[in-house]
Structure 1
Amino acid sequence: MRQNFEEELNDLHVHFSEMGMMVSEAVYKSVKAFINHDKELAHNVIENDVAINNREAELEKKCFELIALQQPVTSDLRKIITVMKACADLERMGDHAVSISKSTIRVKGNKRDPKIEAEIADLSEIVKKRVEEVLEAYLQYDVTKAREIALKDNQIDEAAHSITEKAIEDMKRSSDLVIGAADYILVASYLERIGDYVTNICEWIVYHETGKVVELNTKNKDI
């Protein structure tokens, strides 16, 4: 009986990792679509979001079944709760990738700012790297690495703030740039929120290992 339970817990672990890779790809594709004005790729991200949502629902259902049928002890219960909470954060990251894709589809012939778009591309690379790092930390339940990743969130915040400031300057300079600049601000905010959810997962890694709910980033964010 115990061996079967361990196998089911391991399956949760694997399926979470697969969901994480799906989300990481969605984030990458959404920004690539935005920068390249690729509406077809943006539609692809939106269509594939169903698979991410289904994976979260499957994981959540399995977690509830394990709790109800196996009545896990404290350490195993923490593992199940960690999966439930962290996969919810992944699902929200996927939602923001969809929002970026919708911005791509919405833009029609607006004047663009190549310099800001280059900064958005750079920010997306940082965010993608953080997502990959937190997934690796989760697979290893590496508390030290999780704390280090959370400390890097300021880098994402500062880059998003820089993009916002430059977009506002564009708005002031030319009315032709207002619509495009508004999208830059939105996309930067979506990427920043994805970074916040990375921090959330870092906190769930710490919870899994210590049993303590900690705040690794003091700014306002959803847990």
Structure 2
Amino acid sequence: MAPPNAHIVKSFDDDLRALRSIIGEMGGLARSGLDRSIQSLLSFDMELAERVIADDRRIDDLEMEVEAFAISIIARRAPMAQDLREVIAALKIGALIERIGDYGKNISKRVASISDSKYRGAGSGVERMGQMVSEQVDDAMRAFLDRDPYLARAVNDQDEAIDDFYESLFQTLLGEIAEDSELTAPATHYIFIIKNLERIGDHATNIAEMVHYSATGEYLEARAKGGDATGLTLPL
């Protein structure tokens, strides 16, 4: 006898596994792109930065594949309850991963501008924040692939530390600009970079929220966000 949660149509299980596999590939590429974008920034490696930018096209292609496949599953299988939640979650997660890839690409696009400057003050902070965000993305993808609501909740909890680190680094960069106006241009590039990292963290959190909802049918409690540092005026 089939277990209670097994699908009568085995091909439906095959469809869901294939959908998860595509999204898993997307997540791996996005995580790799993020890590390499930070590496290219810290080493001012323009060749690596250009590869990150070019490789983002593969993530875009996979996102379109996820969308088409998810819609096909809904049309062919008419899933209900948890099955429908899983397909809808996969559809939304694909879009979130595509945006993570875009933010990694945007970081690499700033490498050329920063490499022309002698300013290196934010490097260690960006490296640390990049590690935090990369680990969060990795945990979010593991939660998705394992359908683990407990790990999803842990990913959600990680976001507060990233927000706090972002705001501290933002204030440090503003202070350096205030002390030396010649740092305005390079430090502003770093401000946009850490904002990209903060947004990647937000998207990883959104992935975790979708995983939790897919697995349990319940939304995670909304977490109070810290102050939005980007509401401050840059001294340009």
Shorter-chain TM-score tier: over 0.9
Residue 139 (structure 2) aligns with = 133
TM value normalised by structure 2: 0.88
Please tell me whether residue 202 in structure 1 is matched to residue 208 in structure 2. Answer: yes
The answer as to whether partners of 1:199 and 1:216 remain within 8 angstroms in 2 is no
Q: Which runs of 4+ in 1 moved over 4 A?
A: none
Q: Which of 168, 177, 201 is 1:171 aligned to?
A: 177
- The Cα shift of 1:18 comes to 1.0
Please tell me whether residue 25 in structure 1 is matched to residue 32 in structure 2. Answer: yes
- Partner Cα separation in structure 1 for residue 221 and residue 100 of structure 2: 19
Residue 57 (structure 1) aligns with = 64
Residue identity opposite 1:32 in structure 2: Q
> Which has more radius of gyration?
2
Q: Say which structure is richer in helix.
A: 1
- Partner Cα separation in structure 1 for residue 31 and residue 116 of structure 2: 29
Q: Which of 47, 54, 57 is 1:40 aligned to?
A: 47
- Partner Cα separation in structure 1 for residue 67 and residue 87 of structure 2: 9
Residue identity opposite 1:22 in structure 2: L
Secondary structure of 1:152 counterpart: helix
Residue identity opposite 2:42 in structure 1: I
Residue 180 (structure 1) aligns with = 186
Residue identity opposite 1:151 in structure 2: D
**Alignment length (residue pairs):** 220
Secondary structure of 1:107 counterpart: helix
Residue 111 (structure 1) aligns with = 118
The answer as to whether partners of 2:44 and 2:115 remain within 8 angstroms in 1 is no
Residue 219 (structure 1) aligns with = 225
* CA-to-aligned-CA distance 1:12-57 (integer Å, 9 cap, x gap): 1111111100000011111111111111111111101100000000
- The Cα shift of 1:217 comes to 2.8
The answer as to whether partners of 1:111 and 1:176 remain within 8 angstroms in 2 is no
Please tell me whether residue 81 in structure 1 is matched to residue 88 in structure 2. Answer: yes
- The Cα shift of 1:155 comes to 0.9
The answer as to whether partners of 2:153 and 2:220 remain within 8 angstroms in 1 is no
- Partner Cα separation in structure 2 for residue 83 and residue 63 of structure 1: 7
- More displaced 10-residue stretch of structure 1: 206-215 or 177-186: 206-215
The answer as to whether partners of 1:137 and 1:145 remain within 8 angstroms in 2 is yes
The answer as to whether partners of 2:49 and 2:111 remain within 8 angstroms in 1 is yes
Unaligned runs of 5+ in 1: none
Residue 121 (structure 1) aligns with = 127
Secondary structure of 1:163 counterpart: helix
Identity of aligned residues (%): 30
- Partner Cα separation in structure 2 for residue 37 and residue 159 of structure 1: 23
Secondary structure of 2:223 counterpart: coil
Describe the shift of the 1:190–1:144 C-alpha distance in structure 2 as closer, same or farther (beyond 3 A): same
- Partner Cα separation in structure 1 for residue 19 and residue 54 of structure 2: 24
Q: Structure 2 matches for 1:139-154, cutoff 5 A?
A: 139-154=145-160
- More displaced 10-residue stretch of structure 1: 204-213 or 120-129: 204-213
Unaligned runs of 5+ in 2: 1-7, 229-236
- Partner Cα separation in structure 2 for residue 215 and residue 187 of structure 1: 29
